[in-house]
Amino acid sequence: MRLSAVILAGGQGTRMKSNLPKVLHSLLGKPMAWYTLEAARQVTHSTPVMVIGHGADQVRQTLGDQAEYVLQQPQLGTGHAVMQAEPLLAGKTDLVLVIYADMPLLTAQTLGNLVEKAQSHTGPVSMVTVTTDETRGFGRILRDTRQQVSGIVEEAQATAEQLNIHELNPGVYCFRATWLWEALKRIQLSPKGEYYLTDLVGMAVAEGTVIQTLNVEDLNEVIGINTRLHLAQAEALLRQRINRDWMLAGVSMIDPSSVYIEPGVTLGQDTILWPGTYLHGNTQIGEGCVIGPNTIIKDTKVGDGCSLLASVLEGALLEEHVEMGPYCHLRKGAHLCKGVHMGNFGEVKNSTLGPGTKMGHFSYLGDTTVGAEANIGAGTITCNYDGTHKYPTEIGEGAFIGSDTMLVAPVKVGAGAKTGAGAVVTKDIPPHSLAVGVPARVIKELKK
């Protein structure tokens, strides 16, 4: 059976008290709607249709080709919202999953179970329900004396007796497409002046069909986000879920509650994460690494067997067995080859450090290429910027840069060359020679 998903994201989200559309609020570095889109895509194997309204341009811009978009203008309720998807989907699908975009913890597993239920019955409506005392303003599921679903009543319209019902509507449905498009047109305006999607349930029952329900047990899955308090709760739960999966995949965490891992990050087996580890964006960590405490890594690839202590890395590449910290900062384009050692207070930007190179104490390298087995002395600085342009520095294999050397770029230090403490290097230094002073002069040839 052909299957498509419609995700409703047209509402304003007034209770967030924000200029940002609700579905764009961030959870672990991704907009809230990303999670629903991802779960829907995994189940339908197609691009979901997203109904947008409030902040439509911004939503479209942020989510890009993750969804196909239809505009709902004005927003006349959830039934009216689904109606907007008909031109895009009519005749192209047999089943339509409808999901509200503010439920980021909903899993593909649950959506898949719902679809299975819909496929194995002929009725036009299958839906998720949840039973809990925490009613959160959700619509109540009405059942008849035979315990069959007979309708949904919105909290605002519910009688005192109906308010005591604890089976709730989280807002996840699977409809037969032909029935859906036709039935949507028959929804009557509610007392609130909206077309309620939930009215379809009562309509299907009136036609003599049976509503299929899937009762989810994990209440967390259907936490709808209406306020920033809910947002923080959802983020904590997502974080727990991700950390749990990585621990089961062979990653150790000394204190999981203080480890922050975004979706999209990957980790190798036997890696240990200490408290205060933050892994952002497109970060890949190899096997057998020790990360943290207090380390922030973003969009960086870290090879096997690295140990990174109290450092910040962004847009960097580390080969195997790199040792770093405490207090290093790697910026965009930093490439540390195998076995590089960086001690405390080092900053590297757009530079390659060759295999086995050591940079032990408070140094800055920018726009620099360093060969293998070089030694960057304490306090070495590349003066790579003259206020207008940036210039490159080259340090050859096995070079020994003396403490407090200033390398005024563009400049080259040859292989095996040395600089004296406090040298200010303004001209290239030939291989295997010693340069000292301000400005630095070659005073001696060195043995190879």
Question: Catalytic residues, which ones?
Answer: 361
The least CB distance from residue 63 to Ca ion, in Å, is 19
Asked whether position 170 contacts ligand UD1 by CB under 6 A, the answer is yes
Which residue's CB is nearer to Ca ion, number 198 or number 311? Answer: 198
The least CB distance from residue 199 to ligand UD1, in Å, is 8
Strand partners, 99: 7, 172
- CA trace torsion 257, 262, 268, 273 (10° rounding): -30
Which residue's CB is nearer to ligand UD1, number 169 or number 295? Answer: 169
H/E stretch holding 267 reads: strand 266-267
Token pair 């619509």 in the structure block, residue: 139
Which residue's CB is nearer to ligand UD1, number 53 or number 303? Answer: 53
Asked whether position 432 contacts ligand UD1 by CB under 6 A, the answer is no
Residue 412 — left, alpha, or beta (φ > 0 → left; ψ -120 to 50 → alpha)? beta
Chain residues that interact with Ca ion, rule: CB under 5 A: 224
Which residue's CB is nearer to ligand UD1, number 9 or number 313? Answer: 9
The least CB distance from residue 347 to ligand UD1, in Å, is 44
**213 token code pair:** 């329900």
* Residue 57, φ and ψ in degrees, nearest 5: -60, -45
Asked whether position 138 contacts ligand UD1 by CB under 6 A, the answer is yes
- Given ligand UD1, Ca ion, none, residue 283, with its beta carbon under 5 to 8 Å by kind, binds none
Rg (CA), the chain: 30
Residues 202-261 that bind ligand UD1 (CB under 6 A): 224
H/E stretch holding 27 reads: strand 26-27
- State which of residues 55, 171, 268, 325 lies at the interface with ligand UD1 (CB under 6 A): 171
Using CA atoms, how far residue 167 sits from 31, 92, 139, 344, in Å, is 29, 33, 9, 58
- Given ligand UD1, Ca ion, none, residue 30, with its beta carbon under 5 to 8 Å by kind, binds none
Strand partners, 4: 96
- Given Ca ion, ligand UD1, none, residue 196, with its beta carbon under 5 to 8 Å by kind, binds ligand UD1
Nearest residue (beta carbon) to ligand UD1: 139
Which residue's CB is nearer to ligand UD1, number 53 or number 123? Answer: 53
3-state class of 414 per DSSP?
A: coil
Distance, in Å, from the CA atom of 392 to the CA atom of 407, rounded to the nearest integer, reads 10
The least CB distance from residue 102 to Ca ion, in Å, is 6
DSSP state of 431: T
Asked whether position 400 contacts ligand UD1 by CB under 6 A, the answer is no
- Given ligand UD1, Ca ion, none, residue 21, with its beta carbon under 5 to 8 Å by kind, binds none
Which residue's CB is nearer to Ca ion, number 73 or number 227? Answer: 227
Sign of torsion over alpha carbons 97, 102, 103, 105: positive
Distance, in Å, from the CA atom of 412 to the CA atom of 24, rounded to the nearest integer, reads 49
**279 token code pair:** 């892994």
Encoded one letter per residue, x for contact with ligand UD1 by CB under 6 A and - for no contact, window 150-169 reads --x-x-------------xx
Asked whether position 11 contacts ligand UD1 by CB under 6 A, the answer is yes
Distance, in Å, from the CA atom of 67 to the CA atom of 36, rounded to the nearest integer, reads 11
The least CB distance from residue 172 to ligand UD1, in Å, is 9
Segment lying near ligand UD1 (by CB under 6 A), choices 4-12, 330-338, 358-366, 435-443:
4-12
Which residue's CB is nearer to ligand UD1, number 198 or number 351? Answer: 198
Which residue's CB is nearer to Ca ion, number 124 or number 224? Answer: 224
User: Would you list the DSSP string of 35-61?
Assistant: HHHHHHHHHHSSPPEEEEBTBHHHHHH
Segment lying near ligand UD1 (by CB under 6 A), choices 56-64, 192-200, 268-276, 364-372:
192-200
On the question of a cis peptide bond just before residue 74, with omega within 30 degrees of 0, the verdict is yes
Strand partners, 441: 436
Encoded one letter per residue, x for contact with ligand UD1 by CB under 6 A and - for no contact, window 68-107 reads ----x--xxxx-xx------------------xxx-----
- State which of residues 93, 198, 243, 368 lies at the interface with ligand UD1 (CB under 6 A): 198
3-state class of 257 per DSSP?
A: helix
User: Would you list the DSSP string of 329-366?
Assistant: EE-TT-EE-TT-EEEEEEEEES-EE-TT-EEEEEEEEE
- State which of residues 196, 246, 274, 278 lies at the interface with ligand UD1 (CB under 6 A): 196
- Given Ca ion, ligand UD1, none, residue 142, with its beta carbon under 5 to 8 Å by kind, binds none
Report which residue type is found at 397: E
Token pair 């990050």 in the structure block, residue: 265
Binding site for ligand UD1 (CB under 6 A): 8-11, 51, 53, 72, 75-78, 80-81, 100-102, 138-139, 152, 154, 168-171, 196-198, 224
